[in-house]
Amino acid sequence: MLATIDLGSNSFRLQVSRVVDDQLYTLDVMKETVRLGAGLTADKYLNDDTRERALACLARFGERLRGFVPAQVRVVGTNTLRVAKNAPGFIAEAEEKLGFPIEVIAGREEARLIYLGAAHSLPDTKERRMVVDIGGGSTEFIIGSHYKALVTESLPLGCVSYTLRFFPDGKLTRSNFRDAVLAARNEIQRIRHEYRPSEWQLAVGTSGTARSLRDVLEINDWSRADITLAGMERLRAILIEQGSIDAVKVNGLKADRAPVLAGGLAIMIAVFEELQVEKMIVTEGALRDGVLYDLLGRQREKDMRDSTVALFKRRYHVDTQQAERVNQLSEKLYRMVAGEDVDQDMLKRLCWAAKLHEIGLSIAHTAYHKHSTYILQNADMPGFSKREQATLAAIVLGHRGDMGKMTQYISQPALWQAVVALRLAVLFYRSRINVELPARLDLQQHASGFTLSLSKSWLSDNPLSASSFRQEVGQWKNVGFQLDIVQE
Residues 252-269 pLDDT 10s: 998 888 999 999 999 999
- Three-state SS sequence of 65-107: CCCCCHHHEEEEECHHHHHCCCHHHHHHHHHHHHCCCEEECCH
Other beta carbons less than 10 A from residue 154's beta carbon: 25
Q: Give the pLDDT score at 286.
A: 86
Tally of residues, the chain: 488
Please give the Cα distance from 486 to 179 (Å, whole number): 71
φ, ψ of residue 35 in degrees (nearest 5): 55, 55
Query: What is the pLDDT at residue 31?
Result: 92
**Helix 107-119 and helix 287-299: axis angle, to 10°?**
90
Residue type, 440: R
Give the list of residues 6+ apart from residue 54 with CB closer than 8 angstroms, or none.
7, 12, 34, 36, 39, 46, 90, 94
Q: What's the topology of domain 108-286?
A: Nucleotidyltransferase; domain 5 (3.30.420)
Q: How far apart are CA 8 and CA 10, in angstroms?
A: 5
Q: State which residues of the chain have pLDDT below 50.
A: none
How far from 139 is each of 36, 161, 206, CA to CA, in Å?
16, 11, 10
- What's residue 296's pLDDT? 86
End-to-end CA distance of the chain: 50
pTM summary value:
0.78
Q: How far apart are CA 414 and CA 83, in angstroms?
A: 28
Q: What is the pLDDT of residue 277?
A: 95
Task: Please write down the HEC assignment for all residues of 233-250.
Answer: HHHHHHHHHHCEHHHCCC
Burial status of residue 221 (CB atoms within 10 A of its CB: 0-12, 13-18, 19 or more): exposed
What's the CATH fold of domain 303-435?
Hypothetical protein af1432 (1.10.3210)
State the Cα–Cα distance between residues 191 and 188, nearest whole angstrom: 6
> Which amino acid appears at position 225 of this protein?
A
Task: Provide the pLDDT for residue 301.
Answer: 66
d(CA 182, CA 187): 9
2-104: CATH superfamily: ATPase, nucleotide binding domain (3.30.420.40)
pLDDT, one tens digit per residue, over 274-321 is 999 999 999 988 898 899 888 888 777 677 888 889 989 999 999 999
**Phi, psi angle pair for 328, to nearest 5°:** -65, -45
Cα–Cα distance measured from residue 116 to residue 130, given in angstroms and rounded to the nearest whole number:
12
CB 81 within 8 A of CB 87: yes
Cα 264 to chain centroid distance, Å, stands at 23
List all residues 6 or more positions away from 417 whose beta carbon is below 8 Å from its beta carbon.
334, 337, 338, 346, 445
Whether 108-286 and 2-104 are alike in CATH topology: the answer is yes
Q: Based on the number of CB atoms within 10 Å of its own CB, is 49 exposed (0-12), middle (13-18) or buried (19 or more)?
A: exposed
Domain boundaries, the chain: 2-104, 108-286, 303-435
What is the SS3 assignment for 20? strand
